[in-house]
Amino acid sequence: MEMRQFREVAERLRVAGIPVTLQRLEVARVLLTRPVHMSADQILERVRETTPETSRATVYNTLKLFREKNLVRELIVDPERTFYDSNTAPHYHLYDVTTGKLSDVSADELTVVGMPKLPPGVDLEEVDVIIRVRSRSA
């Protein structure tokens, strides 16, 4: 890992209150240095390129921690596919069910009008919108 990148991700973990370990740094490098949507397995594969001894459990636990600390969003596009999104700014998603490609839709391209009355004693956490598309068969 490049020194500047290393310092930046270490700082982000520290600010989020996450104790820094080598493997957490590696997951952060793969996921947090640019906007990406990746599955846990894709992240594991990338982390193992530099840290081959990394276990699946370590990556899953790290992702859970990152999600709890709001460093990533978890997007469950279908029961088989969970993506981790390093862009935590408000935005929505377009999911191509034919190719499995997930892309961002900016918050100004789509407006959610109105909100159902929320049950008493809860606060709105977030609104997720996933627009699902299918390629036209020729």
Closest contact distance (angstroms) between CB of 138 and Zn ion is: 29
Nearer to Zn ion, 50 or 87 (CB): 87
Closest contact distance (angstroms) between CB of 129 and Zn ion is: 11
Measured CA to CA in angstroms, residue 49 lies from 30, 33, 44, 86, 87 at distances of 11, 16, 9, 20, 23
Edge-to-edge order in the sheet of strand 91-96: 102-106, 91-96, 130-133
The whole-angstrom separation of Cα 58 and Cα 23 is 8
Query: Which residues share a beta bridge with 78?
Result: 81
Binding site for Zn ion (CB under 5 A): 85, 87, 104
Residue nearest to Zn ion (CB): 85
For residue 49, give the nearest of 1, 11, 101 by alpha carbon. 1
Closest contact distance (angstroms) between CB of 76 and Zn ion is: 13
Nearer to Zn ion, 22 or 110 (CB): 110
Q: Which tokens belong to 51?
A: 């840290």
Nearer to Zn ion, 50 or 100 (CB): 100
Nearer to Zn ion, 26 or 85 (CB): 85
Closest contact distance (angstroms) between CB of 36 and Zn ion is: 9
